[in-house]
Amino acid sequence: MPDWRALVRARLSSVGLEPVDEIDVTEEIAQHVEDRYRCLCDQGVPEADAVDLSLRELEGDDLVDGLADALLNG
């Protein structure tokens, strides 16, 4: 299983969060992605496919843009 926290942390690096916020946000998003992975595995999706589908949660600018909006307009 991938290190979801490391992958999320790398994705969030461009947002410029305060360290305390980065820890909280990283944990929350990593938990979401891991839950998605486990759900897919429980449904019988092969592990490699489950990883790929879960990582799609981290793709695109939607994650960063949505996070930035939530933090700024919180």
Render pLDDT for 17-71 as a digit per residue (tens, 0 to 9): 788 888 888 888 888 889 999 999 999 999 999 988 988 877 766 666 666 666 6
The token pair that represents 71 in the structure block: 């933090």
User: For residue 2, which of 28, 44, 36, 25 has the smallest C-alpha distance?
Assistant: 36
Cα–Cα distances in angstroms (integers) from residue 7 to residues 30, 33, 44, 50, in the given order = 8, 10, 24, 15
| Cβ-based neighbour number of residue 54 at 10 Å | 24
Domain for residue 59, yes or no? yes
Residue 58 placed within a domain? yes
Alpha-carbon span 5 to 17, nearest angstrom: 15
Structural domain boundaries enclosing 31: 4-8+21-73
How many distinct structural domains can be found in the chain?
Answer: 1
- 13 in any annotated domain: no
Answer whether residue 16 is part of any domain.
no
Identify the residue with better confidence: 73 or 25: 25
